[in-house]
């Protein structure tokens, strides 16, 4: 156990624990000589016990005032799961329904559906380390990789906010890949789960960096494409060959770019929330490799426990005092 205190100088007051050795708090009465009486072992026992209880009460009070706590700890854990970065599109179009309309209560927006389904996904993944990022005009950092499921759920919940118009997916992917930069060793899969309803052109410099990092960090990529009604799909080809370019069909060319990365990649074209759920269920089945990670345990304040024990010891002393017989 790693015990620490917030105010070490208060520990000087522990010298007060010696006081009960010189005074047990009981009244003293004069009697004639009792040398002929045998030694009262029971009385001696209670006398020592009362002194120990008093010393314990003082110790607990001093430790409480000093701010006793169990310091930060780390614990190695082994389970089945993955290191997952949820990369969410926060462009304005995600605030609309699959029909391209503002939600009116009868149908939820794509962003709300993604938040709801990803929250359910997180709850099912007991041993995963999950990070959350987003992108719009700029990359949005929400939560680093963590085994704390409540923190991950809160981060996903925070993504359901009013969005901006522009989609800068290259910076979003760069941020998602950066989550794995500080990992010196790898156990379990490294996954980027991209959830978006569109794409954008990626410049050549960003393409080069993304290719290098994706292979360097040994990443698996899943893309849940939340296709809106009447929008182009990932596999659609234009009738006019002149329209077959990244500017006119960014989703198709982003899909082709992902296929060319040389890493495990799978795309899901989801045209309704049920299709998104099926895609998430599929990913949930695929990614369950042995996972070794270090769980960080935050500092735990023990002051309240010290006050509780001090109160208990003082109550015992008070009860003994009330039971004292005065002659």
**What pLDDT, on a 0 to 100 scale, did the predictor assign at position 70?**
85
**Is 121 in the same domain as 185?**
yes
Whether 327 shows a pLDDT value over 60: the answer reads no
Start-to-end Cα distance in the chain: 49
**What pLDDT, on a 0 to 100 scale, did the predictor assign at position 60?**
94
pTM for this one?
0.68
**Is 39 in the same domain as 136?**
no
**Is 223 in the same domain as 110?**
yes
**Is 282 in the same domain as 189?**
yes
**Is 173 in the same domain as 190?**
yes
> Which residues touch 34 (CB under 8 Å, ≥6 apart)?
none
Contact 190, 82 (CB under 8 A): yes
**Is 178 in the same domain as 195?**
yes
CA distances from 103 to 98, 119, 163, 272, 298 (A): 10, 20, 14, 14, 41
**Is 131 in the same domain as 245?**
yes
Whether 286 shows a pLDDT value over 60: the answer reads yes
Whether 127 shows a pLDDT value over 70: the answer reads yes
- Say which residue, 187 or 297, is predicted with more confidence: 297
3-state secondary structure of 155: helix
Task: Give the best-scoring range by mean pLDDT among 25-39, 193-207, 240-254.
Answer: 193-207
Q: Identify the DSSP state of 228.
A: P
Question: Which residue in 102, 261, 293, 123 sits closest to 194, CA to CA?
Answer: 261
**What pLDDT, on a 0 to 100 scale, did the predictor assign at position 31?**
62
**Is 162 in the same domain as 244?**
yes
Contact 87, 192 (CB under 8 A): yes
Mean pLDDT over each residue of the chain, to the nearest integer: 82
Neighbours of 90 (CB within 10 A): 25
**Is 203 in the same domain as 268?**
yes
**What pLDDT, on a 0 to 100 scale, did the predictor assign at position 29?**
61
Neighbours of 197 (CB within 10 A): 23
Dihedral sign of CA atoms 122, 125, 130, 133 in order: negative
Question: Which residues share a beta bridge with 141?
Answer: 133
What is the domain-level CATH number for residue 247?
Answer: 3.40.50.410
Does residue 79 lie in a domain region?
yes
* pLDDT tens string 168-203: 888 889 999 999 887 655 567 888 999 888 777 788
**What pLDDT, on a 0 to 100 scale, did the predictor assign at position 37?**
65
CA distances from 172 to 43, 85, 193, 265, 269 (A): 76, 11, 12, 17, 20
Cα separation, 169 vs 246, in Å, equals 13
Query: What tokens were used for 197?
Result: 């309803």
Does residue 327 lie in a domain region?
no
Whether 216 shows a pLDDT value over 80: the answer reads yes
Does residue 277 lie in a domain region?
yes
3-state secondary structure of 71: coil
Does residue 304 lie in a domain region?
yes
* Domain region containing 64: 3-71+300-322
**Is 51 in the same domain as 191?**
no
**Is 162 in the same domain as 281?**
yes
Does residue 44 lie in a domain region?
yes
103-141 burial by CB neighbour count: b if 16+ within 10 A, else e? beeebebbbbbbbbbbeebbeebebbbbbbbbbbeebbe
Question: Which residues share a beta bridge with 133?
Answer: 87, 141
Does residue 162 lie in a domain region?
yes
Cα separation, 276 vs 284, in Å, equals 12
Cα separation, 83 vs 100, in Å, equals 33
CA distances from 30 to 27, 50, 95, 327 (A): 10, 21, 88, 10
Does residue 310 lie in a domain region?
yes
Number of domains forming the structure of the chain? 2
Does residue 256 lie in a domain region?
yes
Question: Which residue in 287, 279, 187, 185 sits closest to 226, CA to CA?
Answer: 279
**Is 212 in the same domain as 318?**
no
> What DSSP string runs through 32-97?
S--TTSPP-HHHHHHHHHHHHHHHHHHHHHHHHHHTEEE--EEEEEEEEEEEEEEEEE-BGGGGS-
Task: Give the best-scoring range by mean pLDDT among 122-126, 162-166, 223-227, 308-312.
Answer: 308-312
Cα separation, 237 vs 249, in Å, equals 9
**What pLDDT, on a 0 to 100 scale, did the predictor assign at position 221?**
92
């Amino acid at each position: 156990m790693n015990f620490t205190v917030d105010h070490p100088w208060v520990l000087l007051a522990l010298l007060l624990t010696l006081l009960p050795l010189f005074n047990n708090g009981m009244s003293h009465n004069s009697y004639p000589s009792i040398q002929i009486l045998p030694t009262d072992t029971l009385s001696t026992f209670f006398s020592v016990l009362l002194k120990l209880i008093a010393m314990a009460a003082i110790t607990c009070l001093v430790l409480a005032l000093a701010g006793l706590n169990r310091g930060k700890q780390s614990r190695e854990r082994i389970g089945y799961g993955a290191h997952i970065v949820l990369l969410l599109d926060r462009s304005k179009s995600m605030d609309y329904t699959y029909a391209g309309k503002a939600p009116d209560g009868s149908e939820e927006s794509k962003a709300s559906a993604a938040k709801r389904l990803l929250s359910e996904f997180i709850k099912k993944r007991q041993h995963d380390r999950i990070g959350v990022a987003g992108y719009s005009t700029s990359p949005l950092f929400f939560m680093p990789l963590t085994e704390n499921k409540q923190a991950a759920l809160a981060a996903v919940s925070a993504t359901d906010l009013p969005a901006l118009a522009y989609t800068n997916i290259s910076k979003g992917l760069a941020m998602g890949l950066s989550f794995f930069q500080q990992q010196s060793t790898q156990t379990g899969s490294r996954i980027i789960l991209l959830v978006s309803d569109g794409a954008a052109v990626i410049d050549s410099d960003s393409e080069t960096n993304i290719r290098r990092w994706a292979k360097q960090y040994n990443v698996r990529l899943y893309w849940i494409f939340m296709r809106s009604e009447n929008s182009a799909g990932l596999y659609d080809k234009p009738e006019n060959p002149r329209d077959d370019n990244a500017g006119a069909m960014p989703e198709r060319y982003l899909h082709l770019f992902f296929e060319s990365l040389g890493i495990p990649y799978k795309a899901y074209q989801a045209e309704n929330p049920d299709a998104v759920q099926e895609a998430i269920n599929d990913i949930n089945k695929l990614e369950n490799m042995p996972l070794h990670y270090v769980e960080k345990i935050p500092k735990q304040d023990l002051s309240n426990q010290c006050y509780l024990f001090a109160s208990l010891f003082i109550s015992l002393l008070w009860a003994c005092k009330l039971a004292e017989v005065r002659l």
